[in-house]
Structure 1
Amino acid sequence: MLKFPKLFFQSGEDTHSFENRIRPSAEKRRHLRACVAKIKDHLKPRISQATKTVLGMDRAVVPRFRTQGSWAYDTCVEPAATPPQEMDWDYGIYLPVTVWEENGPPHAMAKAYFYLVESLLQDLCGQEGWEIRPGKETCIRVQVAQWAHIDIPLYAAPEKEFEKITESVALAKAHVYDSHTYSAESISFREAIDAQQQWVDLDCIVMATRTGEWKSSDPQTVANWFRDRVEEHGVQLRRICRYLKAWRDHHWQHGGPTSVSIMIATAQAFQPRLGRDDRVLEDIARRLSQIFLHDIREPGIDNGTEDFNRLQNLEREKVAQQFGQLASQISQARQAGAHEKEEVILKLRQQFGGRLPMDSTLVEFDNEPDTIRSTPATRVAPPVISSTKAG
């Protein structure tokens, strides 16, 4: 039997493993961080000035900004096909509201808030050569490169709750940069996001929509839940999520299972195997082939009220079948002989695409005891013993 975890992951930044090939490059990370910084620098004073003159508050307040989505989970991957696929960065704007009615800020403020931010971003886009993409109901999408966009959802919370944040940010900074318990990977991840990511939970958050509604929404609940799962299982969980997102992008240029559904389902089914990303991938794919036939709910996120599996029944069956094929291909590859290493990689590339390295030295003979024990026994013909005479 064979093993090939090194095809997927090797420690060190200079390796050519699948992990390093699908993670956003340093150059692209720098570009997106610079774009996010420009958006914050442009919007922060202008929104603050407009909170009284445009949004009708009794005094000016300062908005807060927070990275969300895959950059907060540290599961972002390079798209497999650009175009049409793009890298995205979710960057939420949180407005401390001085007047809070029973279910949120005054109703009229939602549409005014959305229009205000979009108008301010139009000015910035003109300066930077960016473009606002129309049609998004729950966020403003800014195209900052041919390969990337930034989604900007707009939130509000009672002003008094923001008083908790200042102390929390200071404590979080000290914990991240002084602690010796974080791995190099987690430190790198935290350097890629704004320090204010380390907020405490706000108890009441609503999101503005283009049509002028306030909707209850707190994206941090997913981030907190997934962070706890990573602390429980280790960073191997993040890697497996990245592999499966890249696998999804290889098979679906449009559609397919959403990133958050893959992440939640993977975390629910996860069982770590130290140094064996190949085995974990096989196990997870087999479990997801069953999970994606049904609703995906998580009691630790909104008490399980939300179904994260957005697929319709026929799509669920197709996705489940694809996960099953992935598990089968990995299993068959592991059972190949030592003389079939190149054929193994070619078959795996059918699942993961050309970014999986074509390097047979990364495929090794598997002599681990658990693998030997799990290999089915085969019937062996009894030896032929010729008759003898004593004498």
Structure 2
Amino acid sequence: MSTMNAHALFLGANTSASYHQAILLPDETRRALLQADRKLRAAIRRAASEAVQFGKQMALATDAYRASKQAPPTLDVRFLLQGGLAYDTAVEPAIMPPQQCDRDTGVYVKTSFLSRQEPGLAAKKFFELVENAIKPLCIAEGWTIKKKSTCVRVEISPFMHIDYPLYAIPDDAFETLEKSLRDATGQTLVTAASQMLTLMDRHRTLRIPSDRIMLAHREEGWVQSDPRALHDWFEEQFSRYGPQVRRQSRYFKGWRDFAFEQGGPSSVALMVCIANCYREDLVSADEARDDLAFHQVAGALSNFLRDPIQNPVLDVPSTLNDWDDIERARYHSAANQLHETVGTALNGHYLQDLTVQRLQNALGRRVPNRPDLVKAHSRVPEVAAPAAVISRAPLMTTARTTSG
């Protein structure tokens, strides 16, 4: 048992500030991202509709599809929130810029497929359609379009961006989803668009098989990828092991952003590691000890980051931490340092000020300077006070992390 209890510094209450409060994505940022997203969605939806209206689908088709002499491919677009905002684990970055708040909106197009289950729509043409659709809006708003390997990124400001990964779904799978939605709720994909995340969590029949969802990749064409499968896996862990798992995901994203101005382990890799800590019974702290749970997860994290982190929803081995040896050693070392610093904050003394100072060393000034929120389990007379040295860990930089 630790000598100090700093749970209130992590989670707090309605009447006191806390680290959890400090790292949550502000409501005004959520609204700004949502408003921009709505404008961008409208532009993409309009471009897809005009392509059909003016019979331009065949110009967007693959060479193989045109050679098959089929009718022009269908083109019907829908959108679905994904990533940190969908998982409800989004946090405000510690250092903005270069770090940015983000929103991930999947663009799903219902389109014709070839017999070998390859989309008739060319991935490169899909990227061009979306980029051309949003270009006038971005110029008018002062936004910047950036081309990423698996998405179209729109930088709204130096502090926030929206990513649009592009997916293709076969006509028949799309129609099956629409029928399942009507049977379960009486609604259509259009009328239920704003509720789809909630409805998909509530009705497991509202799924498209993972092997029928293809992600557009700029270099590789179409690759199989179902973001909803990972979403379901995380929701299962949150449900099975309790809300502390979701909070720990936010805490460790906050740590990552504080420790690495650029780079650091991806949010998905961190969340899988955290969930695995609970799945493997490496966390014994209860819901009233987020501080102790954080220390226990930090202790296991260094080993998880050193070894391959497997994607839990794929049948074939696929790692989430394809890092070089330098990155791997850096992340492993940072997690070790975190575990050690938090350990000295919670153990071996009875000084409330020292607990706060050492947690701020590990997580930054978003940990509130509130020694009165720290509790000592017991007191020993005339305990020698260790010297309190406040020294932030040096910032570590490498390629930018995808937040959320």
TM-score calculated relative to the size of structure 1: 0.82
Distance 1:99 1:171, change over 3 A: closer
Q: Match of 1:132?
A: 145
Deviation string 1:115-139 (CA, Å, 9 cap, x unpaired) is 11110010221232211124x1211
CA contact (8 A) 1:45 1:62 kept: no
Runs of 4+ aligned structure 1 residues displaced above 6 Å come to 170-174
CA displacement 1:337-365 (0-9 Å, x = unmatched): 43x21122111111101111001111112
Unaligned 5+ runs, structure 1: 175-192, 368-391
Say if 2:47 is the partner of 1:46.
yes
SS at match of 1:160: helix
Distance in structure 2 (CA, Å) of the matches to 1:80 and 1:101: 48
Partner of residue 310, structure 1: 322
Paired residues in the alignment total 344
**How big is each residue's C-alpha offset from its partner over 1:94-144, in whole Å with a ceiling of 9 and x where there is no partner?**
0011233314113x622111111110010221232211124x121111011
| Conserved? CA contact 1:169–1:196, under 8 Å | no
Among 271, 293, 303, the residue aligned to 1:290: 303
**Equivalent position SS for 1:274:** coil
Conservation of the 8 A alpha-carbon contact between 1:257 and 1:311: no
Q: Give the aligned partner of residue 78 of structure 1.
A: 92
Find the aligned partners of 1:23 and 1:171 in 2 and give their Cα distance: 37
Partner of 2:207: 201
Q: Distance in 2 between matches of 1:160 and 1:283?
A: 47
Q: CA deviation at 1:15?
A: 4.0
Contact 1:3 1:365 (8 Å CA) reproduced: yes
Structure 2: gaps (5+ residues) = 62-70, 187-192, 201-205, 379-404
SS of 2:306 mapped into structure 1: coil
Query: Within 2, Cα distance between the matches of 1:253 and 1:170?
Result: 47
Deviation at 1:168, TM superposition (A): 5.3
Across the aligned residues of Structure 1 and Structure 2, the Cα RMSD in angstroms comes to 2.3
Partner of 1:249: 257
Pairwise mapping of residues 30-109 of structure 1 onto structure 2 (< 5 A)?
Answer: 30-51=31-52, 52-54=55-57, 55=60, 58=72, 61-106=75-120, 109=122
2:327 partner amino acid: E
Query: 1:307 is paired with a residue of what secondary structure?
Result: coil
What do the CA deviations read for 1:52-100 (whole angstroms, capped 9, x no partner)? Answer: 4143563754211011111111111111111111111111100011233
Preserved CA contact (<8 Å) 2:352 2:376: no
How big is the shift at 1:279?
A: 0.7
Matches within 5 A, 1:229-240: 229-240=237-248
| 1:90 to 1:59, Cα distance in 2 relative to 1, 3 A | same
Contact 1:50 1:60 in 2 (8 A): no
CA distance in 2, matches of 1:361, 1:172: 52
Three-state SS of the structure 2 residue aligned to 1:95 is strand
**SS class of match (1:302):** coil
Q: Which one-letter code corresponds to 2:300 in the other structure?
A: R
Q: 1:169 to 1:281 in 2, by over 3 A?
A: farther
**Which of residues 298, 322, 336 in structure 1 aligns to 2:334?**
322
User: What is the aligned counterpart of 1:356 among 364, 367, 381?
Assistant: 367
What's the counterpart of residue 377 of structure 1? none
Structure 2 equivalent of residue 280 of structure 1? 293
Report the equivalent of 2:172.
Answer: 160
Whether the aligned pair in 1 keeps the contact of 2:149 and 2:217 (CA below 8 Å) is yes
- State the one-letter code of the partner of 1:347: R
Counterpart residue identity of residue 4, structure 1:
A
Superposed counterparts of 1:361-376, under 5 Å: 361-366=372-377
For residues 171 and 298 of structure 2, what CA distance do their matches in structure 1 show? 45
Work out whether residues 216 and 223 of structure 2, in 8 Å CA contact, stay in contact via their aligned partners in 1.
Answer: yes
Pick closer, same or farther for the CA change 1:154–1:335 going to 2, 3 Å. Answer: same
Return the offset for 1:37. 1.4
- Please give the alpha-carbon distance, in whole angstroms, between the structure 2 residues aligned to 1:314 and 1:294: 13
Q: CA deviation at 1:314?
A: 3.0
Report the equivalent of 1:190: none
Deviates more, 1:58-67 or 1:244-253: 58-67
Question: Does the 8 A contact of 2:100 with 2:159 survive in 1?
Answer: yes
Give the 3-state SS of the residue equivalent to 1:141 in structure 2.
strand
